[in-house]
Structure 1
């Protein structure tokens, strides 16, 4: 229960007014339960389907709700990551940009393209006759699996910050094993509820994304930070929604 409350406290806007223990077991449990948090946010977004809105309005609402419920945390990480990467500076300068609370031009352009693109893709998926609601729940679930896997497999790029603190406290092997179990559960649910071709494709795409994104992180930053993890959530969701659109079309 403490792990779930910690996840809600750090990664959502849900108020948890309680001093929670920050020992190794709780932090490990928090990241182990992180995919369930994504499923919870997706379940809330599923309620939007009860409104008789157009696919465009529903797609916009789903994207907006995801940003609001997470407090914009992952989107902020994507913005900072874009500013740092597209600065084309050396690695130390990129870390300074990641820590800078100001938003640069590259961050603004990248987040506008991300949000507009995501709204369009989600809207197009919703307009397909064979679309099923379960994807609204499972795509945030898979994106949090991506974060947990990357965090457990990749060393910290810095020796400061919240991500470094969590990394020192977390049992990475346990989180990785649980993330693998979440991955298998998610793929099985997709296959059972929809189509096994979609399930297998999701598995291949997500595995490929984790490998490629981790390699990109190591080449450009030498390790993981909280901003890079947040960016992984946003980008993986767009990749999965785009994959779904191509499959359903």
Structure 2
């Protein structure tokens, strides 16, 4: 139980900007529990977003959407956005594999990284606006951050690292497929209230398998940047899915 609590604190320290002035032991057990707690941290982030959205229910949807997006980025400290920009710069360079890895390690942000950041945030903001305008049920704000982080867990556990060094590789040494399944438990509990989340889990699984194939093909493996980018990409994937559901529901009631 002690290691589980340390794991949750480690996940909060790693995934958010919430100040937690506690030194967590960096041991296999705490790393395993931290990864299992990734979606739980997502649920906590989603809870904050849902409370803010409810409190702003009389505010115009564009302002609420921008507020939610700003809080979303602020809580995570933009950690995962850095991975998106690094990968965009590497792929946009159209260079050989060795050079792409060098570009990813470069702390400077290139034009492709900036473009990826702008379009990612723009799409997330517009989709948030659309979902608020459709008066979508409250549970989607909980499910998206949680399942986005589960996508990162699945990629980390199920995809070999390109190099036997770095943070992602050190995490990977403590993990197994069991941790992917256990990480999903908090999300499935929410699914008891909103069964449509089960379909979201399936679509995120497809997304992870697609990203896994792309990363193995283009980089021969993954690193921490790719895990972060998968979290951001998984959230965008889910927002598009939810928008499509309620977009079609306005024309043909689907009962979602």
* Global fold match (TM > 0.5): yes
C-alpha deviation, 1:181, in angstroms: 3.8
CA change 1:78–1:186 in 2 (3 A) is: farther
Asked whether 1:77 is paired with 2:83, we answer yes
Tell me which stretches of 4 or more aligned residues in structure 1 moved more than 6 Å: none
Counterpart of 2:156 in structure 1 is 151
Work out whether residues 83 and 104 of structure 1, in 8 Å CA contact, stay in contact via their aligned partners in 2.
Answer: yes
Counterpart of 1:31 in structure 2 is 35
Aligned residue pair count: 241
Work out whether residues 142 and 186 of structure 1, in 8 Å CA contact, stay in contact via their aligned partners in 2.
Answer: no
Secondary structure of the corresponding residue to residue 22 of structure 2: coil
Q: For residues 74 and 165 of structure 2, what CA distance do their matches in structure 1 show?
A: 27
Equivalent positions of 1:36-51 (< 5 A) are: 36-49=40-53, 50-51=55-56
Work out whether residues 32 and 175 of structure 2, in 8 Å CA contact, stay in contact via their aligned partners in 1.
Answer: yes
CA-based RMSD of the aligned residues comes to 1.5
Counterpart of 2:98 in structure 1 is 92
Counterpart of 2:200 in structure 1 is 202
Deviations 1:159-189 (A, max 9, x none): 2222122222x22233123135455445444
Equivalent positions of 1:74-153 (< 5 A) are: 74-129=80-135, 131-153=136-158
Asked whether 1:178 is paired with 2:173, we answer no
Work out whether residues 143 and 197 of structure 2, in 8 Å CA contact, stay in contact via their aligned partners in 1.
Answer: no
Larger mean CA deviation between 41-50 and 202-211 belongs to 202-211
Work out whether residues 147 and 230 of structure 1, in 8 Å CA contact, stay in contact via their aligned partners in 2.
Answer: yes
Asked whether 1:211 is paired with 2:217, we answer no
Please, what TM-score do these two structures have when normalized by structure 2?
0.89
Q: Structure 2 regions of 5+ residues with no counterpart?
A: 248-256
Asked whether 1:5 is paired with 2:9, we answer yes
C-alpha deviation, 1:224, in angstroms: 1.4
Q: For residues 146 and 90 of structure 1, what CA distance do their matches in structure 2 show?
A: 28
CA change 1:182–1:150 in 2 (3 A) is: farther
Question: Which of the numbers 5, 9, 24 marks the counterpart of 1:20?
Answer: 24
Larger mean CA deviation between 107-116 and 43-52 belongs to 43-52
